[in-house]
Amino acid sequence: MNLNEVEILYDQDLIKDKVRELGKRISADYQGKDLLVLGILKGAFVFMADLVREIDIPLELDFMDVSSYGDSTVSSGDVRIVKDLDYSIRDKDVLIVEDIIDTGLTLKYIVDILQQRGTSSIKICALLDKISRRKAEIYPEYIGFTIPDEFIVGYGLDYRENYRHYPAVCILKPSVYKK
């Protein structure tokens, strides 16, 4: 990690404890249900990989890729599906796994689409929540950390496709993107 560019917000130990706690709650809550864990690419891939290994009930997993137009640090809410699910989710209990909720516009769009597909239930698990920036009515069931309005990279999150492989959740220093 280049510490001239980022500042560590949550280190690997802290993330591990939090992900374990979420996995325990999900395992208890979805006992006897038909759980399908749905990761939103690409940001959720690291969190999702760690989270499903902390869930000890049967589950299936799938991915969806949506893209907001542009690559700036502000969400436009202008979303399109880049990759849809591989299988039907009819009668499944869908748990959407997302890296971060900012305005909530992306998730609102996804939930609205999935709701038309005859699922049993749809809930949201996000590692990070920038709750002060919410514009859409999205109420996640599981949240790792509620964070201030900073631009985050690492643990799957990117700035212009960089930093996704950093193992910690980091704040990107404004000097990097305000050039």
91/150 with CB nearer ligand IMP: 150
Among 23, 39, 43, 156, binds Mg ion (CB under 5 A): 43
With binding defined as CB under 6 A, does residue 104 bind ligand IMP?
yes
Say if residues 43 and 63 touch (Cβ distance below 8 Å). no
With binding defined as CB under 6 A, does residue 105 bind ligand IMP?
yes
Among 97, 103, 110, 154, binds ligand IMP (CB under 6 A): 103
Binding piece for ligand IMP, criterion CB under 6 A, among 14-22, 28-36, 92-100, 117-125: 92-100
Residues with Cβ < 8 Å from 139, sequence gap 6 or more? 124
6-45 binders of ligand IMP (CB under 6 A): 43
* Binding residue count for ligand IMP, defined by CB under 6 A: 15
Distances (CA, A) of 179 to 114, 143, 150, 163, 174: 39, 32, 17, 18, 9
112 carries an active-site annotation? no
User: Which residue in 50, 93, 99, 102 is the catalytic one?
Assistant: 102
Among 100, 111, 122, 124, binds ligand IMP (CB under 6 A): 100
Beta partners for 83? 65
Distance CA 31, CA 152 (A): 33
Say if residues 54 and 20 touch (Cβ distance below 8 Å). yes
* Binding residue count for Mg ion, defined by CB under 5 A: 1
Angle between helices 12-29 and 45-52 (to 10 degrees): 60
Q: Would you name the residues annotated as active-site residues? A: 102
